[in-house]
Structure 1
């Protein structure tokens, strides 16, 4: 029980950023990653407003399409900065920048 409490407290203290991916099978001749956007089979779509990249591909064993979208940059993985540092989005909103936790204008130094 003590180990569980220590782990819970530890995860509350650490600043961690997580990435994500999702996928779905779609019928028809195009993929729809969001309202009003369509993609043809074999195409890729970069959505910098969400730091997300989607691909639309034809499944080899059927006429269905496979839509796969993953976060990139700040949404592309797990970042656990060293003590005293924090991970923030870069100037473009998607790239990562490691800065001092108490002063985001200063780079993380060890």
Structure 2
């Protein structure tokens, strides 16, 4: 029973991670989302290699910058398609399509 509970807990955490957003305050004149990338205040960055969109803005009432990043497309969150349908990843690797389970060339209509 403990093993099953542990597996369910890990699976739940993975789903949360894929649909996650994160934000942080940063000092200095730029934001740093990851991997040494830098962003100026007022800029927006789309990172299709990780399906993530970030914005860097001046935090109100302070000299700090506010970095906010969220997943998009297949990493926008966790959801389930209607019965008889499936979710497939688009050609860009991030976007999703909801299609009929028996024929992926047809859109899901419900």
TM-score by length of 2: 0.72
SS of residue in 2 equivalent to 1:80: coil
**1:10-69 Cα distance to aligned partner (Å, 9 max, x none):** xxxxxxxx6321101111111000122000111000001111100001112111110000
Structure 1 residues not aligned, in runs of 5+: 1-7, 9-17
Aligned residues: 94
Gaps of 5+ in 2: 1-7, 9-17
- Structure 2 match to 1:40: 40
d(CA) in 2 for partners of 1:29, 1:79: 38
Normalized against structure 1, the TM-score is what?
0.72
1:64 aligned residue = 64
Deviations 1:64-92 (A, max 9, x none): 11000011122224432111222121111
Select the structure that is richer in helix: 2
